[in-house]
Structure 1
């Protein structure tokens, strides 16, 4: 069947392509950040350089920050959950020669012998169901790096409407693709973000402040440093399940405020882009997954600001407890540990593609100052969130 998404796509201002020319220093591999100007817009680009020449394995995916990209507010749209009603035998996804291995009892699986770019429509529906059940699924030896950015968009677009991140870098002409990129020997947004923190592990759920927050993220690993670059995932279904029944009952019906204003200001302070004016929205603290029926916590330190109806001290105390509860087992990644069903660490070895159910997981990056790494995130927005009932 064809993609079952009814949507209203915001109009995008037409932009004349900039002629981008960089003179690289005779230097060790690094990132040179330059500003390129024409009448409009202003484009900031990161370039990998070595030996005086542009040296990028995947130049078509290098990030740019185009100050001329401005978008109107998101408008509501209808979304259909492709995993709901898909064949649970996964016969069109896991064919002969493929192999799937569970990494922990309740979250994380690794698949080999499947090429996602070649899936049929039935296979894609079954992929949506598998990701809903396992929360994070790593597919190894994928070919996305060899495909043009438009094909990455076409693949992800089957599962929902693409989200355009308001502040992140993206390949030129493809703002729907979120690029995570860092070069050795240079400062980056990660350094600025972590400068005032003792811990680099900041659990979050990306852009949860949107009216219809992300439901699925496809994370493709192009290149990684020698050390670091792996990703932790926290299972919000298990975090909810381990709460006491009285606390579960208290949380049902409560909503929290999620805000994007701080992220936008952080970008403006560093002359970054803000493609869309920031918003804040209220979302239920407990949500129900539309495909599996599982209940999960939906709050995060990155964007949740307060609980509606509670006084500040009450809100801070309850959110503080929940944040600590979510991250308390983050030091364990062994499948034999009692906490492994809540969090685990996944190796980001390229060329891998992680399919992540953002309705039920949190993640922090594990930064590294080693060499260059490049990854791509394609995030799909989902339905409105409604209160979950016991």
Structure 2
């Protein structure tokens, strides 16, 4: 018999226990203030590396004078439910090509920043269906930062990342930055064999992100691609009996390790780290699709299971997700690219595969969505 779907309060395991579980946090891409060289970024490194193309997006870690209070619950409105499924306001005149048969698309001929509200509704649904969409030839990076935030804010409350650098005065922008003189790749691979870090963004929050935007500011000529996996297809690939057993299970997601990592790098921790309990299988509010909602970066333990039992099942799911090349896509970055994905039904990983000496600089707008929920099992 599958576990009951009745929501009952359950104690969250202690921090010490969650840190010792499966899926220890690892971070390869954000060096923090210790690794950041503002002079080199602003002036360049001679012939080695030119100045940053978007100095207004260079990271700082001092946007606040004191810690932010804990995030408060809010009512999220899912605009994808209002969308015309034929996408007349989004894809009229657009060139659309699928990246794979079951995840991902590339779109040309659409300017995201010029979409009407109806077009934005359709964008939310289109991305939920495709899971990840690379929009080429976009102007989002060239707009004033506040205009970019105004666009992204249509899709939910802006998330302020607890540890990352952000542009001066705009803590709502999460920056992924590695400077030209940053040696984190060399240092990282002294301890690790690969840089793959499958995750959905900040799943430790009570209301993690939904429709999410990442746009390129500066990047190496080759390398630094991003992998995406279709967590809904990963769920469907499991046998009906196995899927039935997963329903009703709850998983602890932890921010503690990320906060500790930031402290080690000399970075900030803007809010006290939290743990949240989410369903292992969640339902998308616009499509009704069910998807696995676990990731090795932030998921720590299945409630009600002993540690060895929890690790065994989580490791199986992580292995299933990582090996599912037939439900994954690889997105190659290019100038003017905005990648939009739905964090509720995907996981992703950047790749640290280029040599030291090339800047990689991206900005993320991260609207929060509803608290994860699951609907009754459907055999």
Superposition TM-score tier, normalisation by shorter sequence: 0.7 to 0.9
5+ residue gaps, structure 2, are: 1-30
TM-score by length of 2: 0.85
* CA drift at 1:388: 3.2
Indicate yes or no: 2:334 matched with 1:349: yes
Whether the 8 Å contact between 1:254 and 1:285 is mirrored in structure 2 is yes
Specify which structure has the bigger relative contact order, considering alpha-carbon pairs within 8 angstroms and separated by 6 or more residues: 2
Residue 73 of structure 2 corresponds to which residue in structure 1?
Answer: 76
Whether the 8 Å contact between 1:136 and 1:357 is mirrored in structure 2 is yes
Q: Distance in 1 between matches of 2:61 and 2:272?
A: 16
Aligned Cα RMSD in Å?
2.2
Cα deviations across residues 323-382 of structure 1 (Å, max 9, x unaligned)? Answer: 00000134xxxxxxxx1xx11111111110011100011111111335112111111111
The change in CA–CA distance for 1:227 and 1:310 in structure 2 (over 3 A counts) is: same
Cα deviations across residues 252-278 of structure 1 (Å, max 9, x unaligned)? Answer: 000000000111011112211001100
Q: Distance in 2 between matches of 1:282 and 1:65?
A: 29
Residue 171 of structure 2 corresponds to which residue in structure 1?
Answer: 175
Residue 233 of structure 1 corresponds to which residue in structure 2?
Answer: 228
Partner SS for 2:245? helix
Cα deviations across residues 267-290 of structure 1 (Å, max 9, x unaligned)? Answer: 112211001100001100000110
* CA drift at 1:202: 1.4
How is 1:198-277 mapped onto 2 (pairs within 5 angstroms)? 198-277=193-272
Whether the 8 Å contact between 2:33 and 2:61 is mirrored in structure 1 is no
Indicate yes or no: 2:378 matched with 1:383: no
Indicate yes or no: 2:306 matched with 1:311: yes
Greater share of strand: 1
The change in CA–CA distance for 1:160 and 1:255 in structure 2 (over 3 A counts) is: same
Indicate yes or no: 2:137 matched with 1:141: yes
Q: Distance in 1 between matches of 2:189 and 2:279?
A: 29
Greater share of helix: 2
Residue 106 of structure 1 corresponds to which residue in structure 2?
Answer: 102
Q: Distance in 2 between matches of 1:177 and 1:198?
A: 30
Residue 22 of structure 2 corresponds to which residue in structure 1?
Answer: none
Partner SS for 1:296? strand
Q: Distance in 2 between matches of 1:254 and 1:268?
A: 32
TM-score by length of 1: 0.83
* CA drift at 1:195: 4.6
* CA drift at 1:69: 4.8
Whether the 8 Å contact between 2:34 and 2:266 is mirrored in structure 1 is no
* CA drift at 1:196: 2.5
Whether the 8 Å contact between 1:61 and 1:171 is mirrored in structure 2 is yes
Q: Which moved more, 1:50-59 or 1:305-314?
A: 50-59
Q: Which moved more, 1:54-63 or 1:307-316?
A: 54-63
- Number of equivalences: 341
* CA drift at 1:110: 0.7
Whether the 8 Å contact between 1:284 and 1:388 is mirrored in structure 2 is no
**Pick from 352, 371, 383: which aligns with 2:358?**
371
Partner SS for 1:320? helix
Whether the 8 Å contact between 1:218 and 1:379 is mirrored in structure 2 is yes
**Pick from 26, 50, 56: which aligns with 2:44?**
50
How is 1:287-326 mapped onto 2 (pairs within 5 angstroms)? 287-326=282-321
Q: Distance in 1 between matches of 2:265 and 2:32?
A: 16
Indicate yes or no: 2:83 matched with 1:86: yes
The change in CA–CA distance for 1:191 and 1:290 in structure 2 (over 3 A counts) is: farther
Partner SS for 1:282? strand
Cα deviations across residues 107-133 of structure 1 (Å, max 9, x unaligned)? Answer: 101110111111111111111110111
